[in-house]
Amino acid sequence: MSPGLLVSSIAGNWNFSLWSVALFAGAFLVTFVVSLAVVGGVLVRLPATYFLGRCGPKLWIDQHPFVRWCGIFLKNGLGWALIALGTVLSLPGIPGQGLLTILLGVMLLDFPGKRTLERRLIGMPRVLRRVNRLRARFGKPPLVLEEPKQGENDRGTQ
């Protein structure tokens, strides 16, 4: 098959109508807005000290073991789905917050080394700057990634 015939056969199979372009543009806009709203809402509601080494309470620790394991399974499934979505959103030409969506997915997963990976992702200067700018817009303090050094709090009182 010659290259010209191949190009013409591929071009002949693409049938764009105004309706399909409008549908694509609408889906593009909806995914962009939903991605921003969900990821932004979660990152704004996080406590400023979330990324410090302290661990919070376990998920549904006071529930029946079956309910607890179902909750953990669903939470991890949602985490993997968000990581997959974030990977797609990170591609050029796809709207949305790819790295932030991946970070949100990682935050939902349970695995050894999770905190280290979370801190590495949020510790990227570009990501941290954007998240803290978003938090400031809603009147929230910036995220704290490290405990203040012991002498830093005492300097102003001397």
pTM of the full predicted structure? 0.57
User: 58: which 2 tokens?
Assistant: 């376990």
Runs of H (alpha helix) within the chain: 3-13, 18-45, 65-89, 98-108, 114-122, 125-137
In order along the chain (158 residues), what is the average pLDDT of each group of 10 residues? 55 65 79 78 86 67 87 92 87 74 82 82 88 93 82 50
User: 37: which 2 tokens?
Assistant: 């709203």
